[in-house]
């Protein structure tokens, strides 16, 4: 698969600020720009009205002062200031819809892309770090949009206007000093900020690492307690926070250097311009009002210019914060539908694995030419030692990965030739490790089909033998299950998973070691519920406990990624091969009250992804 070209943040964001499909947002952009220009035109008139008032008050004979004219200039001065602020606020209000729509659109694109990425990506990701990347990235977008549109662009417009006015009214030297000061200020700011960037990157890296460790530790709270490793977890978190502290201190001290340098440059510019103004008054070329106007223009210009340095720093830091979020969009999808892929047609529900080969790592094959058929409405079980490739079959059937050899057919259609959504809608699964959303029981059942009604949820719960539990709970279906369903027992979680799968009403059902973590009594109850769930479905059972598959129409025994034996339960026992050996070990372990044995002797450890 060819890697995707690295995406520029601005190439992603700019089309969202001027979206072709939303003319109302384009209109808002135009109105906001008009308000921006109006705000700056009114703002540059403020010093002029102030100068006129000062000149009128500077008449030698107080009796000759035209009070009405002075008051008119003061009123114009006040109205101009209010007008400049009003136009600025209107600009912000009109553009806010555009900015938030762009942020929302980009955030949902990243979210959808994450769900479109392969299982391989999600097995390798760190949830805490990834959530931090998205959180910082979203805030970074807000920073960049706010400072670019509300600070950088308005300041540049005002610089151009003030420079032109000083040149036109007074002398080119006023404009030259102003422009030189601004150029020096910007050059210094850019150089120092670029140098400081590495410390911000370090802060982000250590912040992400610390957050990942904290989330991982809290998610595994019980394990930490089991092994009394609270001090160890605190130490690991403190190490990451110490590195963050070091980077943050360097970032803050270099910020102080930047601020001092900016202050010196602005002071030099002010001294130069005010010295020219003082000479102009001495030579009779300028009035006191002119000096006040020049000083007001410079202060009016340098204040936003000083903020320009802060804005650039925030924009630069915002771009760094967004870097990893935007980079997520460059992660290629491993499993992609062919253009125009049709929906899966499912008249019967036959499943065929035809010479299927697969490896998570090319150096270590998992499945090596596996072929079998699950006839419509029939039940086929796959058993074998841990690492034989059993659960890989369900992942390939769901097309979390594509086979590296052979093919998988459903009713004669290669699943790689149909779209993934229709494929997964046709398959229901009860996994070994049922992870529930931190919401109500009703929500978790309804997740099987989000448009299902309450009556359908009740029926699914009864078929899954969950109605007794719900009747005992004070809040019934509204009971919160806790993070990952930790408030429910293993058997209760499995019943929720069965109800969820039943509500989906699939033609193909997969039970992926659905009872391997349960006690014998609970297993029998769950087996009854699974039997009801499988009625009328083509069923693939991936089993750890052989006692759960004795009624299967065919049992496939995997060993080392190949089919070692196949047949019915009694036929396999009669062969006295691998299946019979596993059966005897499990029966002996059950009689002795020990954990069930499923490992073949001297088995080499395999990756956790190859069950």
> Measured on CA atoms in the order 471, 474, 478, 483, is the torsion positive or negative?
negative
Query: Tell me, what's the pLDDT at 597?
Result: 40
Count structural domains, the chain. Answer: 2
Residue 604 pLDDT grade (very low, low, confident, very high; cuts 50, 70, 90)? very low
Q: Are 323 and 440 members of one domain?
A: no
* Residue 603: inside a domain: no
**Domain's final residue, options 505, 532, 566:** 505
Cα–Cα distance, 381 to 130 (Å, whole number) = 37
Query: Tell me, what's the pLDDT at 555?
Result: 94
* Residue 285: inside a domain: yes
Q: Any idea how long the chain is?
A: 611
With beta carbons less than 8 A apart as the criterion, state whether 391 and 513 touch.
yes
* Residue 205: inside a domain: yes
Residue 396 pLDDT grade (very low, low, confident, very high; cuts 50, 70, 90)? very high
Residue 413 pLDDT grade (very low, low, confident, very high; cuts 50, 70, 90)? very high
Locate tokens 């083509």: which residue? 538
Query: Left if phi > 0, otherwise alpha if psi is -120 to 50, otherwise beta: which for 246?
Result: alpha
322/390: higher pLDDT: 390
Tokens of 214: 């904290």
Cα–Cα distance, 554 to 244 (Å, whole number) = 58
* Residue 608: inside a domain: no
Give the residue-averaged pLDDT of 554-566.
Answer: 92
Cα–Cα distance, 7 to 50 (Å, whole number) = 50
Give the residue-averaged pLDDT of 370-384.
Answer: 92
309/60: higher pLDDT: 309
- What order of strands is seen across the sheet that includes strand 562-567? 427-430, 508-512, 538-542, 379-384, 554-559, 562-567
Predicted TM-score (pTM) of this structure: 0.62
**CATH at 278:** 1.20.1560.10
**CATH at 464:** 3.40.50.300
Give the residue-averaged pLDDT of 99-116.
Answer: 81
For residue 452, give its domain range.
Answer: 433-505
Q: Are 443 and 319 members of one domain?
A: no
Q: Are 159 and 284 members of one domain?
A: yes
* Residue 538: inside a domain: no
Read off the pLDDT of residues 157-192 as tens digits, 9 standing for 90 and up. 777 887 788 788 777 888 888 878 888 888 888 788
**Domain's final residue, options 487, 505, 523:** 505
Return the bridge partners of 511, or none. Answer: 430, 541
Residue 353 pLDDT grade (very low, low, confident, very high; cuts 50, 70, 90)? very high
* Residue 266: inside a domain: yes
**Domain's final residue, options 505, 528, 548:** 505
* Residue 177: inside a domain: yes
Q: Count Cβ neighbours within 10 Å for each residue of 127-141 and write b for 16 or more, e otherwise.
A: ebbbebbbebbbebb
* Residue 40: inside a domain: yes
Q: Are 317 and 459 members of one domain?
A: no
Share of the chain above pLDDT 90, in %: 17
């Amino acid at each position: 698969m060819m890697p995707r070209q690295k995406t520029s943040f601005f190439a992603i964001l700019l089309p969202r600020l001027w979206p072709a499909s939303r003319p109302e947002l384009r209109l808002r952009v135009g109105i906001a720009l008009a308000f921006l220009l109006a705000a700056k035109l009114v703002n540059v008139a403020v010093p002029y009205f102030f100068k006129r008032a000062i000149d009128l008050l500077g008449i030698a004979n107080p009796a000759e002062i035209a009070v009405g004219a002075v008051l008119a200039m003061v009123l114009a001065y006040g109205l101009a200031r209010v007008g400049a602020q009003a136009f600025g606020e209107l600009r912000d209000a009109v553009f806010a819809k555009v900015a938030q729509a762009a942020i929302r659109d980009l955030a949902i694109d990243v979210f959808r892309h994450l769900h479109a990425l392969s299982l391989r990506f999600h097995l390798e990701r760190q949830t805490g770090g990834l959530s931090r990347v998205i959180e910082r990235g979203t805030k970074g977008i807000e920073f960049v949009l706010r400072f670019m549109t509300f600070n950088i662009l308005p300041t540049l417009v005002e610089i151009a206007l003030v420079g032109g006015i000083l040149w036109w009214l007074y002398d080119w030297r006023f404009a030259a000093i102003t422009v030189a000061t601004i150029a020096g200020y910007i050059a210094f700011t850019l150089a120092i900020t670029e140098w400081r960037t590495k410390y911000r990157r370090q802060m982000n890296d250590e912040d992400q690492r610390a957050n990942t460790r904290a989330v991982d530790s809290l998610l595994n709270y019980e394990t930490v307690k089991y092994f009394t490793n609270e001090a160890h977890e605190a130490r690991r978190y403190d190490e990451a926070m110490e590195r963050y502290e070091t980077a943050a201190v360097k970032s803050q001290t270099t910020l102080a250097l930047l601020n001092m340098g900016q202050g010196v440059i602005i002071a030099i510019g002010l001294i130069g311009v005010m010295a020219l103004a003082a000479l102009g008054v001495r030579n009779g070329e300028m009035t006191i009002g002119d000096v006040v106007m020049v000083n007001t223009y410079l202060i009016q210009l340098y204040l936003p210019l000083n903020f320009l340095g802060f804005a650039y720093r925030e924009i630069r830091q915002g771009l760094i914060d967004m870097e990893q979020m935007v980079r997520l969009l460059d992660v290629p999808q491993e499993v992609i539908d062919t253009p125009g892929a049709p929906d899966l047609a499912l008249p019967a529900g036959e499943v065929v694995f035809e010479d299927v080969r697969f490896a998570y790592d090319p150096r270590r094959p998992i499945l090596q030419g596996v072929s079998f058929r699950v006839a419509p409405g029939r039940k086929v079980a796959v058993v074998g030692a841990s690492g034989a490739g059993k659960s890989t079959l369900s992942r390939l059937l769901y097309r979390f990965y594509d086979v590296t050899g052979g093919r998988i057919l459903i009713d004669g259609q290669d699943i790689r030739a149909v779209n993934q959504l229709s494929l997964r809608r046709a398959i229901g699964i009860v996994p070994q490790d049922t992870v529930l959303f931190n919401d109500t029981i009703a929500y978790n059942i309804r997740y099987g089909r989000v448009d299902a009604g309450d009556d359908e949820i009740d029926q699914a719960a009864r078929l899954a033998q969950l109605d007794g539990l719900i009747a005992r709970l004070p809040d019934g279906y509204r009971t919160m299950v806790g993070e990952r369903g930790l408030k429910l027992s293993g058997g209760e979680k499995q019943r929720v998973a069965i109800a969820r799968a039943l509500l989906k009403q699939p033609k193909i059902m997969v039970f992926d070691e659905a009872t391997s973590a349960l006690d014998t009594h609970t297993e029998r109850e769950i087996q009854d519920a699974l039997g009801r769930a499988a009625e009328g479905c083509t069923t693939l059972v991936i089993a750890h406990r052989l006692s759960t598959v004795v009624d299967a129409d065919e049992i496939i025994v995997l060993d080392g990624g190949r089919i070692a034996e196949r047949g019915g339960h009694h036929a396999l026992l009669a062969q006295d091969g691998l299946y019979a050996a596993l059966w005897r070990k499990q029966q002996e372990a059950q009689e002795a009250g020990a954990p069930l044995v499923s490992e073949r002797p001297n088995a080499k450890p395999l990756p956790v992804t190859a069950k």
